[in-house]
Amino acid sequence: MEHQFIGWIPCLSGKLFLSHTQCGLGTSEKLAQVNHLDGDVSVPHLAKRYLVISSKVDWKDTHNELLDGRFVVVMLGCAARIDSCVRGTIYLIPAEKISDIHNWAGIYDLIYNIDRVAKTRRPISHLYDALNEKLSAFDDDEFYRVNYILNRSGITYLSYEATKPHENNQLHIVTVTRQSFYYLKYSLHVHKHHHRDDDSITSIHPIPDDEREIGGLLIEDIKRALVNLNRRFSFSDHHALYDAQGVTSYALSLLITCRNQNLMSKSGCEKEKSYFENIRNSLTATAGSVERKLSSKIAASNGARSAILLLISIIAPLTIIHKDKIFNAQVVAGSGGVSQEPPSFLVTILSNIFSSDTKFLFFAATLFAVYWIYQITHSKFGSFIIAIRRYRYGLQRVLGSRAKAKIFAYSSLVFGSLLIIMGWITAMVS
């Protein structure tokens, strides 16, 4: 049967290695996970690779109670040689129909036996052929079948095989084929450069009359994914940026594959390559900005913590050393009497910090405010000196004079700092 759709399984190296497989998208229960070599593996043209992946999946993405997204998927594949393309079929059986399927128990037993025998490294070709024959002979309105050819470059051809002659609903055909492609893709593809939930980074497309248009269709998937990742990016949640860098690498690999397989013209490949290299350069620059911002934020946070810990490390020993004087000062202050030896300024401050819960909380709030101001200033400007310069330049634009701005800036900073310090001391000793 002529294939109707084409898709691409992301492959950075230009060649898929099929030694690792897993149950695909939405798996809720694994039934079989077989990746088996039959024959002499030392002679590639004599060994065959068999894939039997089966699981129960839940693909329901709607709250409509009338729809049930649970299926049993059986994915079969065979490579005539270790390094050749894989040909196979993906069967989708609605879970609610399993009990009505005649001889399903026999099919399930075959799947189980293949999984068991493969673990013993014995040949499974006869069991694979028997399972494929049983599933191919099955005829039911609710039994969906999609054939595929998977090239080692990741390019995949798919065709929907109708189980009844009058079945021609194009939306239904596309939906079933696309979901089958996603299952196949995530059985073979490891998600290093994007989140597993982003299953539509590469999807399927109808095969055009001119095969050199295929590359453009596949590249459109990558462009759409980059736009979606760009919308998700923010400096507070920057993971989408690194995902976008990985997806850009996918695009450059896909362009090489398309050119090698004549799925895009040479000029088209060069043009798209230039675009994606520009995107990669932009992402690299943005990533550098994000990393510098994160480094500045981390440095500011560490610096603020260090300053507060230093202050506490000074106050704590002094409190222990002068604990008797602090206690006597608090007793005298509480009784309204007069101390024979007036307490020092340091003892007065320390005794007032611990004289009541309110003053201690005020002291803790002050430390938090200092920490917050320090972190914000260093995160935004890099240092207090740069922040003061920005403040001075802002005043210069308002006052129109550099000298006046300089005098006003430093005077206001000194006066404001003294006012805050005196106010804090007054609050603590009162």
Q: Give 282-296 pLDDT, tens digit per residue.
A: 888 877 777 777 676
The per-residue pLDDT of the chain, averaged, comes to: 77
List the single range of 190-204, 215-229, 416-430 with lowest mean pLDDT.
190-204
Of 258 and 346, more confident:
258
Percentage with pLDDT > 90 across the chain: 16
- Mean pLDDT (whole number) for 57-73: 70
Give the percent of the chain with pLDDT over 70: 70
Q: Is the pLDDT of residue 88 over 80?
A: yes
C-beta separation of 59 from 93 below 8 A: no
pLDDT value at residue 338:
46
Instruction: Specify which of 279-283, 354-358, 398-402 reaches the highest per-range mean pLDDT.
Output: 279-283
Which of 46-50, 204-208, 296-300 shows the lowest per-residue confidence on average (mean pLDDT)?
296-300
Model pLDDT, residue 157: 95
Closest to 347 measured CA to CA, from 314, 322, 316: 322
Question: Higher model confidence: residue 398 or residue 197?
Answer: 398
Contacts of 330 (CB under 8 A, 6+ apart): 351, 354, 355
- The DSSP bridge partners found for residue 86 are 79, 150
In this prediction, residue 286 carries a pLDDT of 76
- pLDDT band for position 207 (cuts 50, 70, 90): very high
214-242 pLDDT, tens digit per residue, is: 999 999 989 888 888 777 766 555 677 77
At 142 the pLDDT is 63
Task: State the pLDDT confidence band at 5, using cuts at 50, 70 and 90.
Answer: very high
Average pLDDT for residues 98-120, to the nearest whole number? 83
More confident residue, 193 or 125: 125
Is 344 a residue whose pLDDT tops 80?
Answer: no
What is the rounded average pLDDT of the residues 77-105? 82
Task: Supply the pTM of this predicted model.
Answer: 0.68
Mean pLDDT of the region 87-110: 83
Highest mean pLDDT among 59-68, 162-171, 309-318, 396-405: 396-405
